Chains A and B, each alone.
Chain A
Amino acid sequence: MDPKTYKFDTLSLHAGYQPDKNSGARQVPIYQTTSYLFDDVDHAAALFNLERGGHIYSRISNPTVSVLEERVAALEGGTAAIATSSGMAAIFLAIMTLCESGDHIVASSQVYGGTANLLRLTLPKFGIKTTFVKPRDTQGFKKAIQENTKCIFGELLGNPGNELMNMPEVADIAHDAGIPLIIDSTYQTPYLCKPFDFGADIVVHSLTKWMAGHGSSMAGIIVEGGKFNWMQNDKFPSLTKEYEGYHGLSFAEEFGPVAFTMKARAEGMRDFGPCLSPQNAWNVMQGIETLSVRMEKHCANAEKMVEFLLGNESVAWVSHPSAPDHPDYELAKKILPKGRGSMIAFGIKGGKEAGTTFINNVKLASHLANVGDTRTLVIHPASATHSQMDEETLKFAGLSQDMIRLSVGIEDIEDIKNDFEDGFRAAKKLKLVVNK
Chain B
Amino acid sequence: MKFQVNNEEVFASTGGRPFDTNKPLIIFIHGSGLTHMCWVLQTRYFAFHGYSVLALDLPGHGLSGGKSLTSIEDMADWINDVIDSVGYKEASLVGHSQGCLVAMECTSRYSNKIKTLSLMGGAGAIPMNPELLSLAENSDAKAVDLMMDFAHGPSGHFGGHPVPGLYHLNTGSMLVQSKEIKDTLGVDFRACENYTNGYEAAKKLDLPTLSILADKDRMCRLKDGQKLADYIKGSEVHIIQNCGHMMLLEEADQTLAILKKFILEKYPNN
Tell me the chain A residues, 102-147 only, with Cβ under 8 Å from chain B.
Answer: none
- Chain A residue with Cβ nearest B165: A69
Contact of A78 among B44, B131, B167 (CB under 8 A): B167
- Residues 131-174 of chain A, each 1 if its beta carbon lies under 8 Å from chain B, else 0: 00000000000000000000000000000000000000000000
Asked if residues B17 and A247 are in contact (CB atoms below 8 Å), the reply is yes
Chain B residues with Cβ below 8 Å from A247 are 16-17
Chain B residues with Cβ below 8 Å from A16 are 158-160, 167
Chain A residues with Cβ below 8 Å from B162 are 52-54
Chain A residues with Cβ below 8 Å from B173 are 226
CB distance from B78 to the nearest CB of A (A): 21
Task: Assess A231 versus B63: contact at CB under 8 Å? Given A51-B45, A253-B13, A255-B40.
Answer: yes
Asked if residues A1 and B146 are in contact (CB atoms below 8 Å), the reply is yes
B86 on the interface (CB 8 Å rule)? no
A73 on the interface (CB 8 Å rule)? yes
Instruction: Please report the C-alpha to C-alpha distance between residue A246 and residue B47 in the assembled complex, in whole angstroms.
Output: 14
- Chain A residue with Cβ nearest B132: A1
> On chain B, which size bracket covers the interface?
35 or more
Asked if residues B44 and A50 are in contact (CB atoms below 8 Å), the reply is yes
> Which one of A2-10, A182-190, A283-291 is at the B interface?
A2-10
Chain A residues with Cβ below 8 Å from B163 are 53, 258, 262
Q: Is the interface of B mostly helix, strand, loop or mixed?
A: helix
Tell me the chain A residues, 222-255 only, with Cβ under 8 Å from chain B.
Answer: 225-227, 229, 231, 246-249, 253-255
Chain B residues with Cβ below 8 Å from A60 are 164
Asked if residues A52 and B45 are in contact (CB atoms below 8 Å), the reply is yes
- Residues 206-231 of chain A, each 1 if its beta carbon lies under 8 Å from chain B, else 0: 00000000000000000001110101
Asked if residues A256 and B158 are in contact (CB atoms below 8 Å), the reply is no
Instruction: Please report the C-alpha to C-alpha distance between residue A256 and residue B34 in the assembled complex, in whole angstroms.
Output: 12
> Which one of A79-87, A294-302, A366-374 is at the B interface?
A79-87
Chain A residues with Cβ below 8 Å from B178 are 229, 256-257
Among B162, B167, B174, find the residue whose CB has the most chain A CB atoms closer than 10 A: B167
Among B131, B154, B163, find the residue whose CB has the most chain A CB atoms closer than 10 A: B163
CB distance from B252 to the nearest CB of A (A): 6
B166 on the interface (CB 8 Å rule)? yes
B6 on the interface (CB 8 Å rule)? no
- Chain B residue with Cβ nearest A6: B157
Instruction: Please report the C-alpha to C-alpha distance between residue A70 and residue B37 in the assembled complex, in whole angstroms.
Output: 19
CB distance from A35 to the nearest CB of B (A): 14
B184 on the interface (CB 8 Å rule)? no
Asked if residues A18 and B160 are in contact (CB atoms below 8 Å), the reply is yes
Chain A residues with Cβ below 8 Å from B18 are 248
Contact of A257 among B149, B155, B171 (CB under 8 A): B171
Instruction: Please report the C-alpha to C-alpha distance between residue A46 and residue B163 in the assembled complex, in whole angstroms.
Output: 12
Asked if residues B37 and A77 are in contact (CB atoms below 8 Å), the reply is no
Chain B residues with Cβ below 8 Å from A62 are 164
Asked if residues B159 and A71 are in contact (CB atoms below 8 Å), the reply is yes
Asked if residues A17 and B252 are in contact (CB atoms below 8 Å), the reply is no
B142 on the interface (CB 8 Å rule)? yes
Tell me the chain A residues, 41-88 only, with Cβ under 8 Å from chain B.
Answer: 45-46, 49-55, 60-63, 65-67, 69-71, 73-74, 77-83
- Chain A residue with Cβ nearest B37: A256
Asked if residues A14 and B164 are in contact (CB atoms below 8 Å), the reply is no
Instruction: Please report the C-alpha to C-alpha distance between residue A226 and residue B169 in the assembled complex, in whole angstroms.
Output: 12
B236 on the interface (CB 8 Å rule)? no
B5 on the interface (CB 8 Å rule)? no
CB distance from B61 to the nearest CB of A (A): 12
CB distance from A190 to the nearest CB of B (A): 12
A15 on the interface (CB 8 Å rule)? yes
Chain B residues with Cβ below 8 Å from A255 are 37, 40
CB distance from B264 to the nearest CB of A (A): 12
Asked if residues A258 and B129 are in contact (CB atoms below 8 Å), the reply is no
Chain A residues with Cβ below 8 Å from B149 are 3-5
Asked if residues B169 and A74 are in contact (CB atoms below 8 Å), the reply is yes
Asked if residues B166 and A80 are in contact (CB atoms below 8 Å), the reply is yes
Contact of B16 among A1, A2, A81, A248 (CB under 8 A): A248
CB distance from B253 to the nearest CB of A (A): 6
B161 on the interface (CB 8 Å rule)? yes
A380 on the interface (CB 8 Å rule)? no
B170 on the interface (CB 8 Å rule)? yes
Chain B residues with Cβ below 8 Å from A319 are none
B83 on the interface (CB 8 Å rule)? no
CB distance from B51 to the nearest CB of A (A): 12
Task: Assess A265 versus B44: contact at CB under 8 Å? Given A18-B154, A74-B170, A258-B171.
Answer: no
- In addition to A46-B48, A51-B44, A262-B163, 18 A-B residue pairs with Cβ atoms within 8 Å of each other are A5-B149, A6-B157, A18-B160, A49-B44, A52-B256, A53-B252, A60-B164, A63-B164, A69-B164, A70-B159, A71-B159, A80-B166, A83-B165, A246-B16, A253-B11, A256-B35, A256-B175, A257-B37
Q: 23 A-B residue contacts at CB 8 Å?
A: A1-B132, A2-B146, A3-B142, A5-B169, A6-B157, A14-B158, A15-B158, A49-B16, A49-B44, A51-B48, A52-B162, A53-B41, A53-B163, A53-B166, A53-B253, A54-B162, A69-B165, A226-B174, A227-B177, A253-B13, A254-B40, A256-B174, A261-B165
The 4 closest A-B pairs by CB, nearest first: A53-B162, A226-B174, A61-B164, A53-B163
Residues of chain A touching chain B, judged by Cβ–Cβ distance below 8 Å, are: 1-6, 14-18, 45-46, 49-55, 60-63, 65-67, 69-71, 73-74, 77-83, 225-227, 229, 231, 246-249, 253-258, 261-262, 265
